[in-house]
Structure 1
Amino acid sequence: MAGVTAPAAAANLAGKSGVRVVVIGDPGTGKSSLIISLATEQFPENVPGVMPPTRLPADYFPDRVPITIIDTSSSPEQKAKLIAECQSADAVVLTYACDRPSTLERLSSFWLPELRRLQLKAPVIVVGCKLDLRDEQQVSLEQVMAPIMQSFREIETCIECSALRQIQVPEVFYYAQKAVLHPTAPLFDQELQSLKPRCVRALKRIFIMCDHDKDGALSDVELNEFQVRCFSAPLQPTEISGVKRVVQEKMPEGVNENGLTLTGFLFLHALFIEKGRLETTWTVLRKFGYDNDLKLRDDLIAAPIKRAPDQTLEMTSEVVDFLRGIFNMFDIDNDGALLPAELDDLFSTAPENPWSSDPYKDSAETNVLGGLSLEGFLSKWALMTLLDPASCFANLVYVGYPGDFGSAFTITRKRRVDRKKQQTQRNVFQCYVFGARASGKTALLQSFIGRQPSDAVPSNSERFATNTVELPDGTRKTLILREIPEGDVRSLLANKESLAPCDVAVFVYDSCDEYSWQRARDLLVQVATHGENTGYEIPCLIVAAKDDLDQSSQALQESTRVSQDMGIETPIPISVRLRDLNNIFCRIVHTAQQPHLSIPETEAGKTRRQYRQLLNRSLMVVSVGAAVAVVGIAAYRVYAARKNSSS
């Protein structure tokens, strides 16, 4: 890889229309002189207190990005303005005077800690001004700055200059611009002297995309295609040989009989970065669509999703087939499950494993070794599609899906339409699980994914469980259970559209505890009322948990009466401890498939329904009466016309 850059393209891909550089430092360190000397190419005789903003044109440096330089005052009364300027900076130039050691000491004792206190994210360029006045007996810049850079990793580079002698003045701002357009921090860990994990993941994905024959190495032809794509210039055969020779000398496993291996590819980029040629690696990353956070740019993976609140996305059969293939590819030991290490390998071309944290981490069934079955694998993708379609699509792209957003997902029909048509075509159903604390909600979710209730980590936040359910007719549907903590119900129902994504709601109560039933009843009424008021009515089921223990007869009688009064199925008794689940998950899916049934009706809802029926009957009587009147008038007119004609 020759590393020839395409400056204009690099600037555009960096996403920067201009770079804002703020110059700070102790009084008298040469800030204003440095700026004037850069702009006029001569040393100023009279230096103003603070220079007005200075703009360098786009063609000043090869990257063709204009630079605006902001001078600052370090006087106490200007501190607020100084802070504001630093917080809006793309890069900070921090100056000290080479002839005043006290200003160098102030970098560590004041300036750098202050920038850190402000949580500044911009790279810092430390500049020693007045190089012409430096005592020649002083130690080298490298010796002086090494311990400071060790303590303050935000320092991108250090340089000395002389505005009077015009020594390395443009270089100061070239390095500042370079630190913004080609930052080191996302790519390289200075302390470990190695590529950062996210950089490795991005480069690995690029390598796999360029390895067209999938033999684990870039051949000479593939290397040349890569070079042309990134740098618009081919490599000569001697250059390719030279690249491979350098890699082989330093890292023998970086080259094999088929060409440059992934190890060698990563080594080359680490070498570029160590030699200060970050623009080479950044050009490669940006040509393949990566931004400064080493994620694919939004315009490559985002798509406007226009849907109603009661519509959701589901994966197409094309994506499901792709995921089956990916699963089999990474199931190295062919045991029908992806072990954690195999799953990490599958996501090794994504910025991170998206399932390593909630809500996905413990949402699906695993075997005793932590292996994820194909059904669990597909269920997790279905959960991600439901909760975050944009992230789901991004991760599909990261693991190699070649299609676009439209080929990956389909938008379901509105749930309101499903209720009117009394059927649904969905393959993925979401069930909200309500209930009092310790009612058995978590145990229900854990049993759905083959785990013991004791395996659940205590949490006051929402919990998800996803799995496939085989129905009596042999078809399989994906069911997603979402546990709603008791304390979150009020805030959930404060949102008018909160029930729109829900296909069915389950209300769990401890059949031994009368209070638990009362809470379940109250929650059922709240949800039913919310549905009646918003138009997002949902089918509901009552689950009597802990059926193996001594039951509360009052709770049993009350729950049976309430279910009958509200027009839903009588409570379903289950015992997770005895694994007697009464076919609950099939029953949940069956209820979701009949969206017009099992919708609870409150007393207020019944009153409104009766009023509407009465009103409709009244309107019908009025309309019939009006029709009779119209007919009567027409008959009279005919009679009158005949009478007039006869006379």
Structure 2
Amino acid sequence: MAAAAANLAGRPGVRVVVIGDPGTGKSSLVVAVATEQFPENVPKVMPHTRLPADYFPDRVPITIVDTSSSPEQKPKLIAECQAADAVVLTYACDRLSTLDRLSSYWLPELRRIQLKAPVIVVGCKLDLRDDQQNSLEQTMAPIMQSFREIETCIECSALRQIQVPEVFYYAQKAVLHPTAPLFDQEAQSLKPRCVRALKRIFILCDHDRDGALSDVELNDFQVRCFSAPLQPTEISGVKRVVQEKMPEGVNDSGLTLTGFLFLHALFIEKGRLETTWTVLRKFGYDNEIKLRDDFIPTSVKRAPDQTVELTNEVIDYLKGIFNMFDIDNDEALLPSELDDLFSTAPENPWTSDLYKDCAERNVLGGLSLEGFLSKWALMTLLDPANSFANLVYVGYSGDFNSAFTITRKRRVDRKKQQTQRNVFQCYVFGPKGAGKTALLQSFLGRQPSDALPTNSDRFAANTVEPSDGTRKTLVLREIPEGDVRSLLNNKESLAPCDVAVFVYDSCDEFSWQRARDLLVQVASHGENTGYEVPCLIVAAKDDLDQSPVALQESTRVSQDMGIETPIPISVKLKDLNSIFCRIVHAAQRPHLSIPETEAGKSRRQYRQLLNRSLMVVSVGAAIGVVGVAAYRVYAARRNSSS
């Protein structure tokens, strides 16, 4: 059982670095734990010392690194601390000056180097301690209050072999069963991510979904986590302890979520962190309280022009989840209802700027079912592993293959002149001020002024019903003009793109010229990389006075490149000219609307000429072969007749 827990911790070993003032007993401590004897002659710095895996119950080997505190060795000491899993910081119980140095030098120094490892403060030479001194608790309380990175404090004596192994047991425990991810020492409460994980575990173990763990469910939980059943008297004792301290922790059906959380807080307060960590690891969590990679794939193997979509099975599951959390039955999830839905995930994945403003909302900020499914489609398109993780967090029990389907390559779609995709991604290009953001906002039924400022890519996802009566999800991704060059530096940057739209201000000739340049850049990139995409030109602000030059030139360029003439729209008048259906239509017929540059035409003409030349040569060679064969037949006949 302990070996399994260590395995789940994902660590082949624990590296403990011992630091402190000279003469505080660092090296003696290392020798004493390794030999179980007090050394007569101790070297200034011990070589690396290894405690075998079976030294402690968790069966994880420990490497102990002794250090010198001399000034010339400081760079090496800092490097060792930064490579440590845990740091043992020593002082001498008989020298109060070394105790004062913890706060005045050592702990601030560890903060300065941004140490991430837990710190175990150890008072060595306990046998020389003055009985008149304050207790360890009184001595260390103010220091621990100021330095929360201290995991625990302990006193020991290498000479008398008092609590020497315990020093390194606590160091190992601080690594394998750390306090920081679980418990807020200052607030004296479980941390939010720990609560979320335990809530998910509680729901998974509440098989009858009555909001409480019955005696049978409690026993099943115990067997699953600790491979040992609970006796009826033990179950009664657990519930009695909870009920005395927190009456709402138990009801007629059993242990409630409140009681379940209370128990874990109690275990942690009593120093039994391994209990909570064992539970978390049995349910697949790592030290960051996220599901481990063996539960959630970190990447999805696919070609650059393949994307990932939700299956009908998952869409039906998400519809059920939506209805379950729509408490007021208004066919929309309010922010509070959405937070409740994701309360079993490490955090709400849609609080980032990328997702915050990407779907249609009602006047109260509620997310419709279409908006809810569109956000899931977007998350699956951009980050399938994260999408699957959050599906698991909210209770989906199927595997990755039942949740997602990988689409056919776009190159194959172009050859077959059709696509089976249900989610299309459209890149929206255009100069600043052309109306890109307004187009995205109108797709979500909002005013351009409603757009939130963002430093990341702006997305808009919604459903579209094209003329064939199907329902497709369209994702618009706004590409700022200044980001185009860096985007096209990547050979595969257009691979995820189903359609490219080029927006220009139809009142502004310069705006058209910039849009035209962007169109040529994108078309050339597609021709050079093999990731050609259908392109549409959108003439925005059609309600204002048009630029005749822009209109004439945009029409000519579209004809020269073999794509549809510019589509006029007016966001202000809400005259969008079926633009979103037309985008989906272009994506559904990926072989059409692919622009051709002058360089592309020249290459095509050259290939055609080359093919014709090869054909002439082939035909000539064939005639020559036939001629030789005919001559041979003629010669043979002539010889036989003579």
TM-score, normalised to structure 1, is: 0.98
Counterpart in 2 of 1:428? 423
Give the counterpart letter for 1:205 in structure 2. R
Give the counterpart letter for 2:584 in structure 1. V
Q: Which among 169, 188, 194 is matched to residue 174 of structure 1? A: 169
Q: Which among 134, 137, 142 is matched to residue 139 of structure 1? A: 134
Contact 1:96–1:129 (8 Å) recurs in 2: yes
Counterpart in 2 of 1:465? 460
Give the counterpart letter for 2:635 in structure 1. A
- Distance of 1:279 and 1:221 partners within structure 2: 24
Q: The residue matched to 2:350 in structure 1 has which SS?
A: coil
1:579-630 deviation per Cα after TM superposition (whole angstroms, max 9, x unaligned): 1111110010001111111111111111111111111111111111111111
Shift of 1:36: 1.1
Shift of 1:459: 3.4
Counterpart in 1 of 2:17? 22
- Distance of 2:219 and 2:455 partners within structure 1: 55
Contact 2:354–2:456 (8 Å) recurs in 1: no
Q: The residue matched to 1:157 in structure 2 has which SS?
A: strand
Shift of 1:457: 2.1
1:484-536 deviation per Cα after TM superposition (whole angstroms, max 9, x unaligned): 11111001000111001100000001111111111100000000000111111
CA RMSD, 1 decimal = 1.0
- Distance of 2:299 and 2:495 partners within structure 1: 20
Counterpart in 1 of 2:365? 370
- Runs of at least 4 residues off by over 3 Å: none
- Distance of 1:142 and 1:296 partners within structure 2: 37
Counterpart in 1 of 2:195? 200
Q: Which among 293, 299, 304 is matched to residue 294 of structure 2? A: 299
Contact 1:560–1:571 (8 Å) recurs in 2: yes
Q: Which among 389, 397, 402 is matched to residue 394 of structure 1? A: 389
Q: The residue matched to 2:324 in structure 1 has which SS?
A: helix
- Distance of 1:303 and 1:526 partners within structure 2: 34
Shift of 1:322: 0.9
- Distance of 2:37 and 2:421 partners within structure 1: 73
- Distance of 2:18 and 2:284 partners within structure 1: 32
Counterpart in 1 of 2:547? 552
Counterpart in 2 of 1:3? none
Shift of 1:544: 0.8
For 1:502-541, what aligned pairs fall within 5 Å after superposition?
A: 502-541=497-536
1:463-483 deviation per Cα after TM superposition (whole angstroms, max 9, x unaligned): 111000012232110000000
Contact 1:493–1:527 (8 Å) recurs in 2: yes
Shift of 1:142: 1.0
Counterpart in 2 of 1:351? 346
1:37-71 deviation per Cα after TM superposition (whole angstroms, max 9, x unaligned): 11222221211100011111111111111111110
- Distance of 2:294 and 2:638 partners within structure 1: 81
Query: Is the counterpart of residue 496 in structure 1 residue 455 in structure 2?
Result: no
- Distance of 2:151 and 2:499 partners within structure 1: 55
Shift of 1:303: 6.4
- Distance of 2:177 and 2:362 partners within structure 1: 45
Contact 1:195–1:270 (8 Å) recurs in 2: yes
Counterpart in 1 of 2:377? 382
Query: Is the counterpart of residue 214 in structure 1 residue 205 in structure 2?
Result: no
Q: Which among 607, 611, 614 is matched to residue 616 of structure 1? A: 611
Give the counterpart letter for 1:37 in structure 2. A
Give the counterpart letter for 1:122 in structure 2. A
- Distance of 1:537 and 1:286 partners within structure 2: 47
Counterpart in 1 of 2:64? 69
Counterpart in 2 of 1:287? 282
Shift of 1:461: 3.2
For 1:472-491, what aligned pairs fall within 5 Å after superposition?
A: 472-491=467-486
Q: The residue matched to 2:295 in structure 1 has which SS?
A: helix
Percentage of pairs with the same residue = 88
Q: Which among 232, 252, 260 is matched to residue 247 of structure 2? A: 252
Give the counterpart letter for 2:332 in structure 1. A
Query: Is the counterpart of residue 187 in structure 1 residue 187 in structure 2?
Result: no
Of the structure 1 ranges 138-147 and 212-221, higher mean CA displacement relative to structure 2 is found in 138-147
Give the counterpart letter for 2:386 in structure 1. S
Counterpart in 2 of 1:110? 105
Counterpart in 2 of 1:58? 53
Runs (5+) with no aligned partner, structure 2: none
Shift of 1:252: 0.8
Of the structure 1 ranges 39-48 and 51-60, higher mean CA displacement relative to structure 2 is found in 39-48
Counterpart in 2 of 1:153? 148
Counterpart in 2 of 1:83? 78
- Distance of 1:62 and 1:420 partners within structure 2: 62
Contact 2:299–2:385 (8 Å) recurs in 1: no
Shift of 1:131: 1.4
Give the counterpart letter for 2:465 in structure 1. E
For 1:408-423, what aligned pairs fall within 5 Å after superposition?
A: 408-423=403-418
Shift of 1:402: 0.9
Of the structure 1 ranges 39-48 and 266-275, higher mean CA displacement relative to structure 2 is found in 39-48
Contact 1:460–1:485 (8 Å) recurs in 2: no
Contact 2:86–2:171 (8 Å) recurs in 1: yes
1:328-374 deviation per Cα after TM superposition (whole angstroms, max 9, x unaligned): 11111111111111111111111111001031111101111111111
Contact 1:128–1:160 (8 Å) recurs in 2: yes
Contact 1:247–1:255 (8 Å) recurs in 2: yes
Change in 2 beyond 3 A, CA 1:278/1:460: closer
Query: Is the counterpart of residue 236 in structure 1 residue 228 in structure 2?
Result: no
Of the structure 1 ranges 164-173 and 208-217, higher mean CA displacement relative to structure 2 is found in 164-173
Q: The residue matched to 2:87 in structure 1 has which SS?
A: strand
1:106-136 deviation per Cα after TM superposition (whole angstroms, max 9, x unaligned): 1111111111111111100000111122222
For 1:589-604, what aligned pairs fall within 5 Å after superposition?
A: 589-604=584-599
- Distance of 1:497 and 1:462 partners within structure 2: 18
Shift of 1:163: 1.2
Change in 2 beyond 3 A, CA 1:293/1:460: closer
Give the counterpart letter for 2:107 in structure 1. L
Of the structure 1 ranges 196-205 and 508-517, higher mean CA displacement relative to structure 2 is found in 508-517
- Distance of 1:38 and 1:312 partners within structure 2: 56
- Distance of 2:476 and 2:381 partners within structure 1: 12
- Distance of 2:25 and 2:446 partners within structure 1: 68
1:406-462 deviation per Cα after TM superposition (whole angstroms, max 9, x unaligned): 111111111111111111111000000001111100111111111111111233531
1:75-129 deviation per Cα after TM superposition (whole angstroms, max 9, x unaligned): 1111111111111111000001111111111111111111111111110000011
- Distance of 1:66 and 1:528 partners within structure 2: 59
Give the counterpart letter for 1:480 in structure 2. V
Q: The residue matched to 1:355 in structure 2 has which SS?
A: helix
- Distance of 1:520 and 1:62 partners within structure 2: 68
- Distance of 1:553 and 1:643 partners within structure 2: 80
Shift of 1:646: 1.1
- Distance of 2:115 and 2:641 partners within structure 1: 103
Runs (5+) with no aligned partner, structure 1: 1-5
